[in-house]
Amino acid sequence: MVGKPDFVFARKRVVVFVDGCFWHGCPKCYRRPSSRCSYWDAKVAANKARDRRVTRTLRRMGWRVVRIWEHELARKNEERLLGKLSAVSRQPSAGKPKS
């Protein structure tokens, strides 16, 4: 498996990643540290680039990729999260990988 998904639903060919808001640079929650700025800018940029690469690779292999932000797991976001996941579950299986 490419990347390290948090959940894998092999029969549906769906992988779910729960991305930490700090480590993956959430546009809503990320706060840049005030020290070692160049280190953290490079670290978060590399994480985001890796996330895009992993998502692209898995999709080319015929997997559906769901990415959830850590803050979306909060109780106040429960309905939105359930809607996001149920939309994926209603879709037909992804089928064979693309060559």
Query: Which is more confident, 36 or 93?
Result: 36
The pLDDT tens digits of the residues spanning 24-74 come to 999 999 999 999 999 999 999 999 999 999 999 999 999 999 999 999 887
Query: Which is more confident, 76 or 15?
Result: 15
Which two three-digit tokens encode residue 5? 């998904």
Which CATH code is given to the segment(s) 7-90? 3.40.960.10
Dist CA 89 CA 13 (whole Å): 10
Full-model pTM: 0.79
Dist CA 65 CA 53 (whole Å): 12
45 vs 24, 40, 41, 64, CA distance in Å?
Answer: 8, 8, 6, 23
pLDDT at 96: 58
